Amino acid sequence: MIVWDSGGICKANFYDRTEVMRAADELVRSGAVLCQICRGYLKLHGSYPRHCLDEDGKRHDGWVAQGHCAACDKYPSLIPDFIKPHKHYKVDVIERAVGEAEAGGIIENLGGCAADVSTMRRWVREFKERGEQAVKGLISKLPTVCEAHADPLVVRDLSLLQQLDRLLREYPASKSGGVIGRANIILTTKNCGFL
């Protein structure tokens, strides 16, 4: 699976299979997305249906493109950055809940989200577990991406979400979108997992 910077194009046309495939084909043809396993070039293979939920719990049906790497015979999904892999709710909904919890909010009092309290607790718990790995992954990959080094002390006293945001400023990637989506773009393309 590869998370890619949809730049809002795919988000606006998530329901339109033709438009999703066109955007993914452009991404693959340009070489902007490579196989995360062997760094080989991908060809567009197909698509499959996917849905996501907004903060009101409204379901949005759409499509996810799938590539194929002839070099290692893998078929990675090309997930747009507004979708969190293996989750139903959109990234911005999850990130808002995580951010409020990190700021000391009580999960039971997080308003404006249709998700169950147990679901939001799981988001926060999983983010804590994966967030620490993501920070380490971003720090370790920084020298190979842009010949820069990140001092772990710079992010030591920040929350996990703030640490990720600070580290992402060092990467030559999209500066728009949420922290989790931007981190997932880098983490999946560098084969470091995802949040």
pLDDT band at 154 (very low <50, low <70, confident <90, very high): low
- Please give the average per-residue pLDDT across 25-32, as a whole number: 90
Pick the residue with more confidence: 74 or 148? 74
- Please give the average per-residue pLDDT across 44-52, as a whole number: 96
The answer to whether the pTM exceeds 0.75 is yes
**HEC readout, the chain:** CEEECCCCHHHHCCCCHHHHHHHHHHHHHCCCCECCCCCCEEEEEEEEEEEEECCCCCEEEEEEEEEEECCCCECCEEEECCECCCCCEEHHHHHHHHHHHHCCCCHHHCCCCCCCHHHHHHHHHHHHHHHHHHHHHHHHHHHHHHCCCCCHHHHCCCCHHHHHHHHHCCCCCCCCCCHHHHHHHHHHHCCCCCC
Kindly tell me if the per-residue pLDDT of 44 is higher than 90: yes
User: 53-57, 112-116, 130-134, 153-157: which has the minimum mean pLDDT?
Assistant: 153-157
